[in-house]
Structure 1
Amino acid sequence: MSDMGSGDRLDFDRTIHPDAINREAATEPSACRGRGPAAFWASAQWLRSAFPQVRHEVNHVVTESDLVVIHATMSGTHEGPFVLYGPDGEVRQAFAPTHKRFAVDQTHWFRMAQGLVVEHWASRDDMGMAEQLGWVPPSPMYLVRCARARRRAAAESRAQRDR
């Protein structure tokens, strides 16, 4: 499997089927919502932009028929804005960098075909991550920083679309 934290584009091309879908991309940038290695690579780049040293430590792997289930611990430091997008691709929320570390459990499900990932979905501890990073409960100053981060992300998103 390609590593969202350290794999390069060629790794994604070698492990992701051209028609693969990431069922977890609903709040990611539009480029992540497509199919195939390019969309999965876009997800990795999006994740790395907020958590440059993101890491997934594999705790358990279970395989059954065409399914591979990985229980992992995702960890990293929040160094860049973590931006969430709406269905229309518009910036919905941005969490300003806190420079705090986090470690949370996740379970990733992969459907495989011909040795390649064709589908991915996950169960994550997003609330645990939010608490560790200080997103909840937010301080008044952090809300201001998030509003600024959202405005910057929205302006950057508009500029990219206009190119």
Structure 2
Amino acid sequence: MTSTELAAKEVAIESLMVMASGSPADFRSLFHPDATNRMAVDEPLACRGRGPEAYYATAEWLRGAYADLGWTVEDAVVEGDLVVLHATMSGRHTGPFVTYDENGRAAQAFPPTGKSFAVTQTHWFRLADGKVIEHWANRDDLGQAMQLGWIPPTPVFLIRMLLALRKARRS
């Protein structure tokens, strides 16, 4: 691996790691001012913008739902300006996980279960000027939902979801 490829790999790995505990300054050092996150479509409106601030908003959204949040990188591949990471995301569901519609209105809310999860993901990063300018991912959302007890939902959990959604829409 060349020094350029190694640097790109390190930027991609670090950009994933800061999601768990990085500061706004960390995000500014890793994400290009024009960076876009293709995965933000169901996230709060602040996450759908461009640049480090939008990525930091995504981190805050995830941190609000999951304690002990982290990623373990299993493999990394670098090809030109593209870095692909195969990773395992883990955490514990301690806060409501809310998804949003295209207008930024709460669409679904999953109340905290206290359960832990660990799921595989593949993250794709495109770099420009030594920073992340684009991100997208393939995630095991079904596996995560099963581990957290979201599916199959019990009648009690469905009621808790409705109450959580009502509360999220009031916020």
Which category of TM-score, normalised to the shorter sequence, fits these structures? Answer: over 0.9
Instruction: Return structure 1 stretches of 4+ with deviation > 2 angstroms.
Output: none
- Gaps (5+ residues) in structure 2? 1-13
For the pair 1:83 / 2:60, whether they are aligned, the reply is no
Amino acid in structure 1 at the alignment position of 2:45: S
Cα distance in 2 for partners of 1:53, 1:91 equals 24
For the pair 1:20 / 2:35, whether they are aligned, the reply is yes
Which structure 2 residues correspond to residues 1-163 of structure 1 after superposition, within 5 A? 1-2=14-15, 3-156=18-171
Q: Secondary structure at 1:107's aligned position in 2? A: strand
**Identical positions, percent:** 56
Deviation at 1:55, TM superposition (A): 0.4
Q: Which has the higher helix share?
A: 2
The TM-score, its normalising length taken from structure 2, stands at: 0.90
- Gaps (5+ residues) in structure 1? 157-163
Cα distance in 2 for partners of 1:39, 1:68 equals 20
Supply the RMSD in Å over aligned alpha carbons: 0.6
Deviation at 1:22, TM superposition (A): 0.2
Cα distance in 2 for partners of 1:102, 1:65 equals 33
The TM-score, its normalising length taken from structure 1, stands at: 0.94
Cα distance in 2 for partners of 1:52, 1:44 equals 12
Q: Secondary structure at 2:67's aligned position in 1? A: coil
Count how many residue pairs are aligned between Structure 1 and Structure 2.
Answer: 156
Q: Secondary structure at 1:5's aligned position in 2? A: helix
Amino acid in structure 2 at the alignment position of 1:62: V
Deviation at 1:52, TM superposition (A): 2.5
- Counterpart for residue 9 of structure 2: none
